[in-house]
Amino acid sequence: MRFKYALALSACAGLLAGCSAGGAQTPDPQPSSDAPPSRTGDAATSAAAPEQCGADLLSSLTRRQQLAQMLTVGVTDTDDAVSVVRDEGVGGVFVGSWTDESMLANREVPRVQAASELPVMVTIDEEGGRVSRVEDLLGADPSAREAARTMSADEVYEMALERGRGLASLGITVDFAPDVDVSAQPDDAVIGDRSFSDDPALVTHYAGAYAQGLRDAGIFPVIKHFPGHGSGSGDSHRGSVTTPPIDELVEKDLLPFRELAHTGVGVMVGHLEVPGLTEPGTPASISPSAMSLLRNGSGYGADPYDGIVFTDDLSGMQAITDRYDITEAVSAALEAGADSALWLTTEDVPRVLDHLEAEMDSGRLSQQRVTDAVTSIARTKGLLSC
């Protein structure tokens, strides 16, 4: 029988804050030198804990419930969010520009959490500048580029700490920020002023401070867009995007990911075709090669990454929708190695889950892949410490 984990939202926030590297209130975090834990799907055992990490949680969930934990979907309002977590058991909801502001303004997120058997990741992409969903509620923050131009890293840390506390008070648990793309694009380009700098060292410095501020406020930060959107050929909202070859990304765009991926953050993978890495016509978000690069790390001088991997939006960006139905996009992303597939509406959730079950029946989506993903998601939610 499925059982309900008694973990209050406030407790989740505290556990997420505990992801902070060393717990220090420092604006210039350094990557951890500790070896990351093994991926949960490995047969990792010890004398004290012979069972796989998360085995009790996994055994409490049906196959469809496990698959639902791997979905993060945009919602229109509180009732929409309550319905999709109660009826389908999705692992996360996304608050977008179209979401009724009363969901946050009236502090209605606890209704969403109460409707779910497991804590729900309540996600948002709050970067500051032109990518802000809570400006009317919490005030305006400068863009990343403006912040790096006018503020110290200490001040950026304090700004993120204040914004994170505000987000937590609204019920948010995960922020798809900071953007760690390295870019010299004009301010109004797809990345543009969302990038701290065209210098990877400055991006790492300021983005690290921003992520630390969010963590210390109890918000789980997610850096993006792996493996680097800053020099892409266009806007993946409008069509396919090609980056410079992987050898060039290794020298520049991947450096912030290398330094920050092990500081208690998640990673969002973009819809980017990368010569020398991804197959022609296959964006990184659904590419096993790109996921392997992130997980293994060795291809760009990083340690293996064991944290949660989100996709960028799979339903509102033409780099994906021009080629794939949402069911195909979600299954391709999860099979490639993403832990949580993100898209913008709830109406297709039953159809997606039906398709994922069929993919498991066929063997294209393995139980091991599902186990790995659900365990990673549970760790992010604070349900597992192993």
CATH value at residue 237: 3.20.20.300
| pTM of the full structure | 0.87
Known catalytic residue: 237?
yes
Catalytic residue among 28, 100, 237, 303: 237
Residue 39 covered by a domain: no
| Burial zone of 55 (CB within 10 Å; 0-12 exposed, 13-18 middle, 19+ buried) | middle
Residue 33 covered by a domain: no
pLDDT at 289: 98
Q: Which residues contact 53 (CB under 8 A, 6 or more apart)?
A: 40, 44, 375, 384, 386
Q: Give the Cα separation of 370 and 361 in Å (integer).
A: 13
pLDDT at 51: 67
Q: In what order do the strands lie in the sheet with 174-175?
A: 309-311, 266-269, 220-226, 174-175, 121-124, 92-95, 71-75, 341-343
Residue 142 covered by a domain: yes
Q: Give the Cα separation of 71 and 315 in Å (integer).
A: 13
> Could you tell me if 278 and 308 are in contact, meaning their C-beta atoms sit under 8 angstroms apart?
no
pLDDT at 235: 76
Q: Give the Cα separation of 160 and 163 in Å (integer).
A: 5
Q: Give the Cα separation of 197 and 22 in Å (integer).
A: 27
Residue 29 covered by a domain: no
Residue 12 covered by a domain: no
Known catalytic residue: 313?
no
Residue 8 covered by a domain: no
pLDDT at 234: 74
- Expressed as residue numbers, the domain containing 61 is 53-380
Q: Where are the beta strands (DSSP E) in 100-219?
A: 121-124, 174-175
What region, left, alpha or beta, does residue 128 occupy, with left being phi > 0 and alpha being psi -120 to 50 degrees?
Answer: left
Question: Could you give the 3-state DSSP secondary structure of residue 24?
Answer: coil
- Of 321, 383, 314, nearest in space to 349 by CA: 314
Cα R_g (the chain), whole angstroms: 19
**Count of structural domains within the chain:** 1
Per-residue pLDDT tens listing for the chain (386 residues): 333 433 333 334 333 433 333 333 333 433 333 333 334 333 333 344 446 888 999 999 999 999 999 999 999 999 999 999 999 999 999 999 999 999 999 999 999 999 999 999 999 999 999 999 999 999 999 999 999 999 999 999 999 999 999 999 999 999 999 999 999 999 999 999 999 999 999 999 999 999 999 999 999 999 999 999 999 987 777 678 999 999 999 999 999 999 999 999 999 999 999 999 999 999 999 999 999 999 999 999 999 999 999 999 999 888 898 889 999 999 999 999 999 999 999 999 999 999 999 999 999 999 999 999 999 999 999 999 88
Residue 345 covered by a domain: yes
**Exposure class string for 335-371: b at 16+ Cβ within 10 A, else e:** bbbbbbbbbbbbebbeebbebbeebbeeeebeeebbb
Angle between helical axes of 200-216 and 153-170 (0-180°, round to 10)? 40
Residue 13 covered by a domain: no
Q: How far is CA 292 from CA 31, 41, 306, 330, in A?
A: 20, 15, 11, 18
How is residue 123 written in tokens? 């996600």
Catalytic residue among 141, 306, 312, 348: 312
How many Cβ atoms sit within 10 Å of the Cβ of residue 124? 24
